Amino acid sequence: MDNFDRRSFLKVGSLSVFGYLGWGDALRLRAQSPTPNGKRDISIIHLWLTGGMSQLDTFDPKPDADTRYRSQFKPIETKVSGIRVSEQLPRTALLANKFVVIRSMTHRQAAHEAACNLILSGHDPLPTIQHPALQTVIAKELGPRNELPPVVSIPSATGSWEKSGFLGPQYNPFNAGNPNSDKFKVRDMDLPMGVDWSRMDHRRSLLSVVDEKFRRLDTTGITASMDAYYQTAFGLMHSAKAKKAFEISEEPDAVREKYGRTSLGQGALLARRLVESGVRFVTVSRGFNTWDHHRDIFPLLANDFLPELDRAFSSLIEDLDQRGLLDTTLVILTGEFGRTPEINAMGGRDHWPNAFSMALAGAGITGGRVLGETDEKGMFVKDHPVEVPDLVATIYKKLGIDHNKEYISNIGRPIKLSQGKPIDFLLV
Amino acid sequence: MTARVSLLLFSAALVATAGEKPKLSFVKDIVPIFTKSGCANSNCHGSIRGQAGFKLSLFGYEPDLDYDALIKAQDGRRINRSDPAKSLVLLKPTFSVPHGGGERFKVASLEYDAILDWIRDGATYDSAGSPRLKTLRVTPEEITLIGIGTKHQLSATGTYTDGSSEDLTRKVQYMPNDESVVEVSPSGEIKTMRAGETAIMVRTLGKAVAARIAVVAQPPMANYPDVARNNFVDDLVFAKLRRLNIIPSPLSSDYEFLRRVYLDTVGLLPTLDETKEFAESRDPGKRAKLIDQLLARPEFAEVWATRFADLYRTGLLDQGHKGGRLMYNWLRKSILEDKPYNQFAAELLTASGQLKFNPTANFYYITEFSEPENIATDISQVFLGVRLECARCHNHPWEKWTQDDFWGFAAFFGRMGIKDTYENDESQVLLKVKGEVIHPKTKKPIGPKYLDGPSEVERPDEDVREKLAAWITSPNNPWFARAITNRMVKHYLGRGLVEPVDDFRVTNPPSNQALLDTLAKDFGDNGYSLRHMARVILNSRVYQLTSEPNETNRGDAINYSRYYVKRLMAEQLADSVTEVTGVPEKYPGYMLGTHAMEIPQGAPSYFLATFGRMKAREVICERDSQPDMVQAMHLISGETLMRQTTAKGGNLDKWMADASLTDEDVVRKIFLAAVVREPDHREIETALLPLQAKGSESRRQAFEDVLWTAFNSKEFLFNH
């Protein structure tokens, strides 16, 4: 019933209620001190292009391919000679020295749900086991840094693959809502109207008197875990600074425009604010399956998706860099798979897990490099194939989490965090 | 149960006298070594992909593949016929050369010698038609051991297809489900570690059985109290508790029982009048009478319609889909009429036709029911409590299910089809003229086959599902009645006899086999009446125990020695709030005041979604009952409770306007309505603190604070 890690909650409790570890202190701690094993304390922002981003129209252009395959977009030079990307990503191109591209991602899950499961957990899905998403494993292993929840999804988790599966719901991401809406506000974060803190304190003291009776009945520890949720919730509600992290309206208009007034743009900006304030992992998406361009892929990409992505990704990297946060923040840009090189009858591209591209920046990764290569059509991986479990193992390693650690799954079967091996390319 | 210490520690083949060694059988003598030594585990060479290029079948269920892996794979480098002792299959496990799995057995051990002898003899496979292991048995199957450090010998016997049997005590692998309760040596000797219960899985050659062990720290109590009993549920539960030296908690108070039985049976709290009447009644049979009254209420059917709707995943239909409502109404009506559950199930299993005229057809329409294999896994899980999923891709390692079982079961649904129309309730579930299921391994069509049973012949002019429905609902079906019994027990007693509730397997035995069997039989003997079974459970003293633990039962979480606290379902919670405040909720698309429990599908409010009303069934078709922070935030400051506590014209205003009630009386009303008990002195005092301030606004606010507190209290959020 309750496999709650009480220690991590005591930690939160002590920060939010007793410790009064100031916000500035927390930030300084996070920026300066290495984790006990000497690693940088890395945060992650995932630009989550669910539905599947076409590699050929973005990071793996094949201008010489047959017209049946060729993108309508021309490749352009980037800041790094030898690396070319789609002309639809001009801002991104200017920052090519800041990120790496993996062009040789490959797996075998061609259905959205299965591929989402794989890419976020590092495990091929099994019918009987609900693998936890890596962000929830991070929440379990590292806990929250302060009053803010450790894992946030913007606008909300796109599906069960983004949740904690057999670890239990306490590690599920906190859904922030859509920061691109005018009335954006995180739900239930302020006291109810007409109730001030002195009244709420009275309510809490009455509640603690009433709850004493129930405590005697509880042998499972669920009371303690619920109390911890209340404490965390009150901590968040009470901390003006934690709440402020969600106040995207505090950003200057110029900054908001630069990121783009789009779901992904404002989401990326909010993600930066959250990471800056102590959130460990932020997922930013346009919603489930939005990149699933089975028809009219070129107008959709050119008029909507790629300009949005180009602004959001480039602004995020620049912004993090200028604030000195890029070194401790890993930015991951990927969908669950790529799209077929062959253009279908409806002018779209279909699902293609055999070869696809991913971009990564920050967290000590030396930018301006490309890993792997696909064939002349972008159909199959020619060299350095990268499997998802290896990628996930790399991420755990960067965070100082032992990817060989085993969890006992819901069916009693031990499951390693990842069966893969960290990728050297991403460790330098 | 008495212990029988086995003296036959060595199998005949391994202790044959010198000079006339019988030839070792690969299947009987060699394959078991890999299971016993852990090589064929799922986290090693038994995994689907194998390990380091060497793949064994999981726990030796496919010896012929294991033979190929040893002899043929990678040019047979694992066997060295010219110098058998230099065979990789001996060097690796003895760690004579580097081995990722470390040392599994020693040079000159029984295992080592057996493999060596087998290679010297030519490393042959058993001749065609040689006997295979048919059944595996462990003795004792169940035992209670007294004292920590106590030892006890298990023994295992195999029966082969030729009728011969063999002592396999030394050959099988022993694995306790909970290693902190007992340790088991490779030769099958148990050593008790702490008080508790665990099953020990015993495996070889793809077969698995379980021995159920209970460890009690002290000898039986001399002064064990007499515990009153109401019916056979009590006999069976208390007999086991006595064996375990656990004394059940005392009977619940009237208040405690009242709130509990209302929530469990009708999903609502008792009204203040109902509470008063019950508390004041001197009738010794008042609990049984109340149970009968509650079981006759329409809300009893709504609670179970909601449970079944979860199980059948009607939540997967969009909010506006009429099918969900049709299905819900059919469920509610069936339960209200007390339709025999075997008939109820048969109607669902054989459903077809246009959705709007055939509510049950939604059962097949919902979700990805288009593929026979999905239907098969769902139906076995829902009606039989058997998970077949693993057998879809490989023979089930912990169970007897093979891929033939799985695909044979799926073949019953080979002709299922759906005709989708734009108007969703005009869509149709139909039987196609032709349809077949292809076995993924043989790539050939496979005919219908019952689980653990014979094949069935499907005639072109019949709906073979009718035969399947008859097989499923037959009194001889070992799972059907037990599966629903287990779900009933889970609903009322807070924990299934088998957990997870839909995972019946030999290696996952029930916590009280006799109780499961007897309840299921009683259910069948009484016309498969769900209401009858509910009545039996609710009238038991076991159901009516207090939830407060005592010193002997604090650690018990599986034997029903007290009432286990459980979280309210989202609907119970929402409906309880509106009942206390007297402020009706309005769900979009429903009339003002509609109970959440009456809503057929989906989550039409943030509150219901947040507290677990399901949008879609997960693989395990149970709701998530764990709390989370979003729930806490919504209870603390969400609009639902804000509206409910501040809206004018509800019960609070009524009580405040009643001149005969003092402030203290109003606090009492709130407590009685929400947590069905009187507040104590300290609670009243704390609640009344803000009332020392003047003004009617602050007076109302003080009571709103009490309401908020009541709704946020654990006593309110749980049934206990």
Q: Which of B555, B628, B690 sits opposite A202 (nearest CB)?
A: B690
* CB atoms B637 and A222 under 8 Å: no
Q: Which of A223-232, B2-11, B55-64 has the lowest mean pLDDT?
A: B2-11
Say what the pLDDT of residue B96 is. Answer: 84
Preferred mutation among B553, B558, B637, B716 to probe A, highest tally of A CBs within 10 A: B637
Q: Which of A144-158, A245-259, B303-317, B526-540 has the lowest mean pLDDT?
A: B303-317
Q: What is the mean pLDDT of residues B100-112?
A: 85
Q: Is the bond leading into B500 cis (omega within 30 degrees of zero)?
A: yes
* CB atoms A213 and B686 under 8 Å: no
CB B584 within 8 A of CB B593: yes
- Chain B residue with Cα closest to A9: B629
Our CA-based measurement puts residue A1 at a distance from the nearest CA of chain B, in whole angstroms, of 7
Q: Is the pLDDT of residue B155 over 60?
A: yes
Preferred mutation among B626, B635, B691 to probe A, highest tally of A CBs within 10 A: B626
**DSSP letter assigned to residue A161:** G
Q: How confident is the model at residue A17 (pLDDT cuts 50, 70, 90)?
A: very low
Our CA-based measurement puts residue B186 at a distance from the nearest CA of chain A, in whole angstroms, of 21
**A-chain residues near B643 (CB < 8 A):** none
Say what the pLDDT of residue A207 is. Answer: 97
d(CA A289, CA A206): 47
**B-chain residues near A211 (CB < 8 A):** 713-715
Q: How confident is the model at residue B303 (pLDDT cuts 50, 70, 90)?
A: very high
d(CA B638, CA B138): 56
Q: What is the mean pLDDT of residues A125-130?
A: 72
Say what the pLDDT of residue B316 is. Answer: 62
Q: Is the pLDDT of residue B441 over 90?
A: no
Lookup: tokens for A123: 């495990």
Reported as a single tens digit per residue, the pLDDT across A202-235 is 999 999 999 999 988 887 777 877 887 888 889 8
Q: How confident is the model at residue A358 (pLDDT cuts 50, 70, 90)?
A: very high
**A-chain residues near B377 (CB < 8 A):** 127
* CB atoms A233 and B633 under 8 Å: yes
pTM of the predicted model, to two decimals? Answer: 0.78
SS3 B698: helix
* CB atoms B686 and A209 under 8 Å: yes
* CB atoms B626 and A202 under 8 Å: no
Nearest 5°: the CA angle B538, B541, B546 is: 95
Q: Is the pLDDT of residue B51 over 60?
A: yes
- Chain A residue with Cα closest to B176: A412
Q: How confident is the model at residue B73 (pLDDT cuts 50, 70, 90)?
A: confident
**B-chain residues near A229 (CB < 8 A):** 627-629, 631-632
Reported as a single tens digit per residue, the pLDDT across B234-282 is 999 999 999 999 999 999 999 999 999 999 999 999 999 999 999 999 9
Q: Is the model more confident about B295 or about B367? A: B295
Reported as a single tens digit per residue, the pLDDT across B191-234 is 999 888 889 999 888 888 899 999 998 898 889 999 999 999 99
CB B507 within 8 A of CB B207: no
* CB atoms B549 and A225 under 8 Å: no
Q: Is the model more confident about B23 or about B270? A: B270
Q: How confident is the model at residue A120 (pLDDT cuts 50, 70, 90)?
A: very high
Say what the pLDDT of residue B487 is. Answer: 97
* CB atoms B555 and A219 under 8 Å: yes
Angle between helices B513-525 and B530-539 (to 10 degrees): 130
**B-chain residues near A210 (CB < 8 A):** 675, 683, 709-710, 713, 715
Say what the pLDDT of residue B99 is. Answer: 80
Q: What is the mean pLDDT of residues A317-336?
A: 97
Residue A412 in contact with partner chain B when CB distance is under 8 A: yes
**A-chain residues near B720 (CB < 8 A):** 214, 217
Q: Which of A2, A193, A413 sits opposite B42 (nearest CB)?
A: A413
Q: How confident is the model at residue B184 (pLDDT cuts 50, 70, 90)?
A: very high
Q: Is the model more confident about A125 or about B639? A: B639
Reported as a single tens digit per residue, the pLDDT across A243-278 is 999 999 999 999 999 999 999 999 999 999 999 999
Lookup: tokens for B212: 């159920």
Say what the pLDDT of residue B431 is. Answer: 87
* Nearest to A56, CA basis, from A366, A350, A289: A350
Q: How confident is the model at residue B337 (pLDDT cuts 50, 70, 90)?
A: very high
ipTM of the complex: 0.84
- Chain A residue with Cα closest to B645: A192
CB B155 within 8 A of CB B8: yes
Reported as a single tens digit per residue, the pLDDT across B74-103 is 777 888 888 999 988 998 898 888 887 778
Q: How confident is the model at residue A61 (pLDDT cuts 50, 70, 90)?
A: very high
Q: What is the mean pLDDT of residues B343-371?
A: 85
* CB atoms A207 and B619 under 8 Å: no
Reported as a single tens digit per residue, the pLDDT across A160-205 is 899 888 887 678 888 888 999 988 988 899 999 889 999 999 999 9
d(CA B35, CA B159): 18
Preferred mutation among B41, B388, B708, B717 to probe A, highest tally of A CBs within 10 A: B708
The beta strand positions in B488-552, using DSSP E, are none
Q: How confident is the model at residue B402 (pLDDT cuts 50, 70, 90)?
A: confident
Q: How confident is the model at residue B163 (pLDDT cuts 50, 70, 90)?
A: very high
Q: How confident is the model at residue B5 (pLDDT cuts 50, 70, 90)?
A: very low
Q: Helices in A156-251 by DSSP H: which ranges?
A: 197-215, 222-238, 240-245
* CB atoms A128 and B389 under 8 Å: yes
Q: How confident is the model at residue A25 (pLDDT cuts 50, 70, 90)?
A: very low
Task: Give A 80-139 residues with CB within 8 A of chain B.
Answer: 127-128, 130
* CB atoms B547 and A217 under 8 Å: yes
Say what the pLDDT of residue B4 is. Answer: 39
Q: Is the pLDDT of residue A366 over 90?
A: yes
Reported as a single tens digit per residue, the pLDDT across A42-55 is 999 999 999 999 99
Our CA-based measurement puts residue A236 at a distance from the nearest CA of chain B, in whole angstroms, of 10
Our CA-based measurement puts residue A233 at a distance from the nearest CA of chain B, in whole angstroms, of 6
Say what the pLDDT of residue A186 is. Answer: 85
Our CA-based measurement puts residue B152 at a distance from the nearest CA of chain A, in whole angstroms, of 26
User: Cα-Cα-Cα-Cα dihedral of A299, A301, A303, A309, to 10°?
Assistant: 180
Q: Is the pLDDT of residue B410 over 90?
A: yes
Tell which phi-psi region holds residue B640, choosing left (phi > 0), alpha (psi between -120 and 50) or beta. alpha
Reported as a single tens digit per residue, the pLDDT across A384-409 is 999 999 999 999 999 999 999 999 87
Q: Which of A348-357, A408-417, B211-220, B649-658 has the lowest mean pLDDT?
A: A408-417
**A-chain residues near B387 (CB < 8 A):** 128
**Phi, psi (rounded to 5 degrees) for B153:** -95, 125
Sort strands A338-339 and A369-371 into parallel, antiparallel or unpaired: unpaired
Preferred mutation among A166, A188, A218, A225 to probe B, highest tally of B CBs within 10 A: A188
SS3 A186: coil
- Could you give the C-alpha distances from A337 to A106, A355, B682, in angstroms and in order? 8, 8, 61
Our CA-based measurement puts residue A62 at a distance from the nearest CA of chain B, in whole angstroms, of 35
Residue A198 in contact with partner chain B when CB distance is under 8 A: no
- Chain A residue with Cα closest to B549: A217
Preferred mutation among A210, A229, A288, A404 to probe B, highest tally of B CBs within 10 A: A210
Q: How confident is the model at residue B606 (pLDDT cuts 50, 70, 90)?
A: confident
Residue A427 in contact with partner chain B when CB distance is under 8 A: no
Say what the pLDDT of residue A277 is. Answer: 95
Q: Which of A127, A216, A414 sits opposite B619 (nearest CB)?
A: A127
d(CA B50, CA A131): 21
Q: Is the pLDDT of residue A28 over 70?
A: no
* CB atoms A169 and B624 under 8 Å: yes
**B-chain residues near A190 (CB < 8 A):** 637
Q: Which of B555, B637, B709 sits opposite A188 (nearest CB)?
A: B637
Say what the pLDDT of residue B367 is. Answer: 55
Q: How confident is the model at residue B408 (pLDDT cuts 50, 70, 90)?
A: very high
Q: Is the pLDDT of residue B526 over 80?
A: yes
d(CA A426, CA A394): 7
**A-chain residues near B42 (CB < 8 A):** 413
**B-chain residues near A193 (CB < 8 A):** 642
Say what the pLDDT of residue B601 is. Answer: 78
- Chain A residue with Cα closest to B634: A188
Q: Which of B555, B637, B675 sits opposite A190 (nearest CB)?
A: B637
Say what the pLDDT of residue B618 is. Answer: 38
Reported as a single tens digit per residue, the pLDDT across A290-307 is 999 989 999 999 999 999
